[in-house]
């Protein structure tokens, strides 16, 4: 098979380019986003069909976080999605141990400084509120390490649950917790057309 102008061979046999694969999983809490874990914890790879070809995670979700995680064997595509300059938005639904109010939302939008790093949300809104806790939606256009948890901790607010529900226009939808499926061609195109994405 010709890759550009060069024929790639191993031991005299032509090598085919690997088929590009793009998958999503609905990661439950407690599962780690690594291929192997030195502590023997369950990894996201246990959610993929048996015998699946290797795919790497596109970004991360920490052990305590849940929701949408992309995996692919297209490393260049993954790097562009996660690059800060791509500004592909990630949407999170976050349960907090406080009653959200306008002052909290404004502080998250304005930004906080944690460990010398400025952290801010692109957009924030209240989804629903009870007497002691609330669900808020937070949209980020860059993903710094533990950004949402750090922002809320800086505001003195406890995170009870953190669920990523969308990356760009691709949503978790009805995918059951702990399940995985291939992205549709339309979903891959949506990510390729995300604002500032250069594909």
Domain residue limits, the chain: 16-85+168-192, 89-167
pLDDT for 16 equals 62
Q: Are 23 and 182 in contact (CB under 8 A)?
A: yes
In the structure encoding, which two tokens stand for residue 7, read together? 């024929």
Q: What pLDDT does residue 60 have?
A: 85
In the chain, which residues have pLDDT < 70? 1-17, 37, 194-199
Q: What is the pLDDT of residue 44?
A: 92
CATH of domain 16-85+168-192: 3.30.70.580
| 196 vs 65: CA distance, rounded Å | 27
Distance CA 27, CA 57 (A): 11
**pLDDT reported for residue 68:** 98
Contact 66, 163 (CB under 8 A): yes
The number of residues making up the chain comes to 199
Mapped onto helix, strand or coil, the DSSP state of residue 150 is: helix
Structure tokens at 184: 């549709």
What is the set of active-site residues?
A: 62
User: What's the pLDDT at 196?
Assistant: 47
Q: Could you confirm whether domain 89-167 is CATH 1.10.760.10?
A: no
Give the global pTM.
0.87
pLDDT tens digits for range 166-182: 999 999 999 999 999 99
3-state secondary structure of 128: strand
Is residue 67 helix, strand or coil? Answer: strand
Strands 56-58 and 66-72: antiparallel
């Amino acid at each position: 098979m010709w890759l550009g102008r060069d024929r790639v061979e191993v031991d005299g046999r032509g090598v085919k380019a690997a088929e590009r694969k793009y998958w999503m999983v609905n990661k439950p809490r407690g599962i780690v986003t690594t291929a192997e874990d030195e502590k023997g914890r369950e990894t996201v790879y246990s959610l993929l069909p048996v015998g699946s070809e290797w795919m790497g995670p596109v970004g991360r979700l920490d052990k305590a976080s849940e929701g949408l995680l992309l995996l692919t064997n297209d490393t260049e595509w993954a790097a562009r999605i996660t690059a800060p300059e791509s500004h592909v938005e990630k949407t999170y639904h976050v349960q907090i141990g406080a009653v959200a109010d306008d002052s909290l939302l404004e502080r998250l939008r304005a930004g906080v400084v944690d460990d010398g790093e400025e952290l801010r949300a692109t957009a924030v809104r209240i989804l629903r509120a009870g007497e002691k806790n609330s669900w808020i939606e937070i949209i980020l256009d860059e993903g710094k390490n533990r950004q949402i948890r750090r922002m809320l901790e800086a505001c003195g607010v406890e995170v009870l649950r953190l669920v990523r529900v969308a990356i760009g226009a691709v949503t978790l939808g009805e995918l059951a917790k702990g399940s995985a499926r291939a992205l549709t061609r339309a979903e891959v195109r949506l990510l390729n057309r995300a604002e500032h994405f250069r594909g």
